[in-house]
Amino acid sequence: MAKPNYLDPARPLNERVADLVSRMTTEEKIGFLPTRQKAVPRLNIPAYIVGGEGAHGLVVRTHGDQWPSGVATVFPQPIGLSCTWDKELMERVGDVIGTEARVYYNRDGRGRWLTLWFPTIDMERDPRWGRTEEAYGEDPFLAGKLAASLIRGAQGGGHLPGDDPFYVKTTCAPKHFYGNNVEKNRAFTSTVVSERVKHEYYLRVFQYAFTEGKALSLMTAYNEVNGIPCIVNPEVKDIVKGEWGCEGFIVADGGDFSQTVTQHHYCETHAQSMALSLKAGVDCFPEDAALITQAASDALAQGLMDEADLDRAVTNILKIRFRMGQFDPDELCPYSFIPPERLCCDEHTQTALEAAQKSVVLLQNDGILPLDPSTCGKVLVVGDLADVTMPDWYSGRPPSSVTPLQAIRGVLPEGSVETVQTHDCCVISYDGAGWLRVEDDGTVCFDGDEESRSVFDEHDYGFTSAAYREVKTGKFLNVRPDGTLGCTSDTLWGWFTYELFFREEDSGRFIPHGETFRDGLSDEGKASVDQTMRCLKRVLLTDGLSRAVDAAARCDTVIVALGNHPLVNGRECFDRPGIAFPARWTRLLERLREVNPNIVLTLIAGVPYAFPKEAKHVRAALYTAHGEQHIGTAVADALFGRINPAGRLSMTWVLSQDDLPDINDYDIINHPRTYMYFDKPMQYPFGHGLSYTEFAYSGLSAERDGDGYSVSCSVRNSGQYGGDEVVQLYAVLHGTPVKSPIRKLCGFERIPFMPNEIKSVSFFVPFGELHLFDEEKSTFAALHKAVTFEIGASNADIRCSTKITIEG
């Protein structure tokens, strides 16, 4: 019997896919629309689960589990990766993620792990966004170029040694398309943007992901754009597939299909939603399979769509499954033989360390850094993040982790590092009924006396958010499923953080975070949450700040490690309540400064802050994002000069949130945001980052060269340390009939230098990078009369410039 065409690897892909689709029944094709795709044994189609996360390392989470069940290499959060400004590194980071996804795919029956939902490349026009840690900054050129490199590395396709030009290692789905930058009401809010802002800013970053990164998938956003839900936006088909040439399939965001009816109220029935989504270009739906298949059947029966609409979606999905190697002998797909030993191997570990080191940004330094282990004396290491590493919701499970305190102790002589806890120690009263007491099984009672009452460390996260950890057991106070209080949580982590409480600053009373809880008292004298909300009050025993001050007075240098908790005061579903330092951080730095002037701030956070007053209390400040595996090592390496920090900020750090427009205003031009239009003083500008050495720029030249401009200059390391410089090229447009950017990034390179080394740095800027969107003609065009190229170390540190007049 002759082999069917779809099983013949020698035939063209489109021919093979068309042959397979023609053999499938309508019911079988409908079964491919959900993300849990059924097997079709008669056609040798295996079952497969679409989806998985790889934001900064593969997240191996089995269905229904929250905490990752399998280890994988973990990198800094994406906002930290964007601070590397290193395209080549990003390609290797993607390669690690794709390789480890293949390890799990090959090991676990080849039923999932290869179609991942990353990277997040929503434009970060506002630091109050709850998911800031997930994306790559405020500039579409920077974010787009880094994302394209990451995607190339993860998918394969001939970009790295060993890649295959046809078979893919994994597939990436950049998200969320598009205008998605607010968490409140994200399921139905409408992003209002002009055609110009849309094309120049919100779409541009996705364009790089597809035209340069060759992404094979895409995830749409929950929100509407100008009144049209993204899941039914025809721009998916017209732009992503049509203009940018996406060769794979489009997936909706989780649960968004039903929200078209229940939240957007855009459609009256799910059948209508299905027809509109498929016609708009969406092919696959992460939602209850029964709902999806029934909606598709109803849409066909009601004539809302025809078989051709269904065939297009199934064809797009099958194209990727063919390129994953699911229909061919293993020996044809080189990724089928990636061994388990590649998981968390030495090479991957080294790449993760390099990424952590390169993401460190030196915000300010009066010369105290780098610290000399032989002369810095006794060092106090304090702060909420001194001896912890923190995962976020999209973190994988690293094989190991190192805290800043552990790494600093590894650098300094034994006995020269001191640390104290800065948390307040308290007991909890229950109005008129005794003290909170925790039993051995974690049950919380309120009949304790002064001898039996439990003692808690209060973790104060600012903005009234706090958590309480019992000293004896190390467990966090939490809300249990039956609505009572318990003390059974090992950590404050999960999609729902039931360990989080809202505390009144003045009275000390606090209430659980959550929705609706039972009224009254439960059996056996245990208080329900609703009753507790009226009766709990923390009573201070010892002041953590005073402990820190006493220790600082007897030490020579103080390293303060502060930063956000990734699941508190901003995360998916919740925007940030503010961008200033929590009041407790401010008090800590002020009091430390009173007894010791040698304070170095290490800020470990997935978000920018505004802290101009607090910055005056420290001699130096480092910033890096969370990244469990090597965060401590990278921080210590930067503090003690084992590396020369060269990270650069990918977002503008403003002086005050009062300088920002309303978070729901997406018009970055007329209501200025980002370095391109923001016209107010800032604390740290886009592209900012200091070094332990100095760089001199000279000889900038620019000239027309074919379809663009060739720009070059000379850069010299004029200091005593070797290190990287991130050379940044900006363009200033003159004579435009519309408001143009103050300046616009159009080139960047991270380059290593030895002391006194001189290098020539060259860029090619295509004409199209300087075009603005002409709303009258609905296209990009050269609207400027002249252009000035500026080159330097940041958006606000321009070293050389040259102007070119446009002829004609």
Task: Band the pLDDT of 213: cuts 50, 70, 90.
Answer: very high
CA–CA gap between residue 635 and residue 629 (Å, rounded): 12
For tokens 């000239």, the residue is 703
Helix 346-358 with 87-107: angle, nearest 10 deg: 140
Q: What is the pLDDT of residue 515?
A: 37
* Distant-in-sequence, close-in-space partners of 220: CB < 8 Å, separation ≥ 6: 175, 176, 177, 230, 231, 233, 236, 250, 251, 252, 253, 256, 282
Which range, of 303-317, 480-494, 563-577, 792-806, averages the lowest pLDDT?
Answer: 480-494
| Burial of 746 (C-beta count, 10 Å sphere; 0-12/13-18/19+) | buried
Q: What is the pLDDT of residue 808?
A: 53
For tokens 């080139």, the residue is 747
Candidates 281, 272, 275, 287; CA nearest to 312 is 281
Which range, of 134-148, 270-284, 470-484, 649-663, averages the lowest pLDDT?
Answer: 470-484
Cα torsion 65, 69, 72, 75: sign: positive
User: Would you list the DSSP string of 528-544?
Assistant: BHHHHTTTEEEEEEE-H
Residue 611 has pLDDT above 70, yes or no: yes
CA–CA gap between residue 711 and residue 708 (Å, rounded): 10
CA–CA gap between residue 73 and residue 96 (Å, rounded): 8
Residue 270 has pLDDT above 50, yes or no: yes
Task: Band the pLDDT of 3: cuts 50, 70, 90.
Answer: confident
Residue 767 has pLDDT above 60, yes or no: yes
Q: What is the pLDDT of residue 523?
A: 38
Side chain identity at residue 593, one-letter code: R
CA–CA gap between residue 139 and residue 153 (Å, rounded): 21
Q: What is the pLDDT of residue 524?
A: 39
For tokens 């139905």, the residue is 188
CA–CA gap between residue 596 and residue 617 (Å, rounded): 10
Which range, of 98-107, 220-229, 496-505, averages the lowest pLDDT?
Answer: 496-505
Task: Copy the structure tokens of residue 614.
Answer: 């607090």
Candidates 782, 797, 774; CA nearest to 725 is 797
CA–CA gap between residue 758 and residue 737 (Å, rounded): 41
User: Would you list the DSSP string of 704-728?
Assistant: EETTEEEEEEEEEE-SSS-EEEEEE
Q: What is the pLDDT of residue 429?
A: 87
Residue 271 has pLDDT above 70, yes or no: yes
Q: How far is CA 304 from CA 273, 300, 363, in A?
A: 10, 6, 57
Candidates 643, 621, 648, 633; CA nearest to 560 is 621
Mean pLDDT for the stretch of residues 506-516: 61
CA–CA gap between residue 179 and residue 198 (Å, rounded): 8
Candidates 503, 502, 533; CA nearest to 520 is 533
- For the entire predicted model, the pTM comes to 0.95
* Distant-in-sequence, close-in-space partners of 526: CB < 8 Å, separation ≥ 6: 443, 444, 445, 446, 484, 485
CA–CA gap between residue 258 and residue 285 (Å, rounded): 10
Mean pLDDT for the stretch of residues 161-181: 93
Q: What is the pLDDT of residue 517?
A: 34
pLDDT, one tens digit per residue, over 48-66 is: 999 999 999 999 987 666 7
Q: What is the pLDDT of residue 522?
A: 36
Task: Band the pLDDT of 521: cuts 50, 70, 90.
Answer: very low
Residue 516 has pLDDT above 70, yes or no: no
Cα 672 versus chain centre, distance: 24
Which range, of 62-71, 200-209, 676-685, 739-748, averages the lowest pLDDT?
Answer: 62-71
Question: Is there a catalytic annotation at residue 253?
Answer: yes
Q: What is the pLDDT of residue 51?
A: 95
Q: Establish how many alpha carbons lie within 13 A of residue 490's alpha carbon, considering only the half-sphere containing its beta carbon.
A: 1
Q: What is the pLDDT of residue 63?
A: 61
Q: Establish how many alpha carbons lie within 13 A of residue 91's alpha carbon, considering only the half-sphere containing its beta carbon.
A: 16
Q: Provide the 3-class DSSP secondary structure of residue 110.
A: coil
Q: What is the pLDDT of residue 787?
A: 98
pLDDT, one tens digit per residue, over 337-360 is: 999 999 999 999 999 999 999 999
Mean pLDDT for the stretch of residues 471-478: 94
Task: Copy the structure tokens of residue 328.
Answer: 């061919």
Q: What is the pLDDT of residue 497?
A: 83
Task: Band the pLDDT of 422: cuts 50, 70, 90.
Answer: very high
Candidates 413, 334, 14; CA nearest to 168 is 334
pLDDT, one tens digit per residue, over 11-41 is: 999 999 999 999 999 999 999 999 999 999 9
Q: What is the pLDDT of residue 482?
A: 76
CA–CA gap between residue 33 and residue 12 (Å, rounded): 24
pLDDT, one tens digit per residue, over 111-134 is: 999 999 999 999 999 999 999 999
CA–CA gap between residue 397 and residue 67 (Å, rounded): 8
Give the rounded percent of residues in the chain with a pLDDT score beyond 70.
Answer: 95
Q: How far is CA 766 from CA 410, 588, 703, 711, 738, in A?
A: 48, 50, 12, 11, 21
Which range, of 179-188, 531-540, 589-598, averages the lowest pLDDT?
Answer: 531-540
Q: What is the pLDDT of residue 62?
A: 74
Q: What is the pLDDT of residue 504?
A: 75
Which of 139, 163, 253, 283 is catalytic? The answer is 253
Task: Copy the structure tokens of residue 514.
Answer: 């959550």
Candidates 255, 241, 327, 296; CA nearest to 7 is 327
pLDDT, one tens digit per residue, over 253-269 is: 999 999 999 999 999 99
CA–CA gap between residue 492 and residue 56 (Å, rounded): 21
* Contact in structure between 220 and 176 (CB atoms under 8 Å): yes
**Extended beta strands in 132-175, E state:** 171-172
Give the rounded percent of residues in the chain with a pLDDT score beyond 90.
Answer: 87
Q: Provide the 3-class DSSP secondary structure of residue 275.
A: helix
Q: What is the pLDDT of residue 384?
A: 96
pLDDT, one tens digit per residue, over 369-389 is: 999 999 999 999 999 999 999
pLDDT mean across residues, the chain: 93
For tokens 């990198």, the residue is 75
Q: What are phi and psi of 542, to 5 degrees?
A: -135, 145
The CB density around residue 594, as the number of other CB atoms within 10 Å, is 12
Candidates 715, 649, 733, 631; CA nearest to 687 is 649
Q: What is the pLDDT of residue 50?
A: 97
Q: Establish how many alpha carbons lie within 13 A of residue 725's alpha carbon, considering only the half-sphere containing its beta carbon.
A: 30
Task: Band the pLDDT of 675: cuts 50, 70, 90.
Answer: very high
Task: Copy the structure tokens of residue 505.
Answer: 């600053």
Residue 2 has pLDDT above 90, yes or no: no
pLDDT, one tens digit per residue, over 138-165 is: 999 999 999 999 999 999 976 677 778 8
CA–CA gap between residue 66 and residue 69 (Å, rounded): 9
Q: What is the pLDDT of residue 430?
A: 77
Q: What is the pLDDT of residue 64?
A: 60
Let me know the angle formed at the C-alpha of 579 by 576 and 583, rounded to the nearest 5 degrees: 105
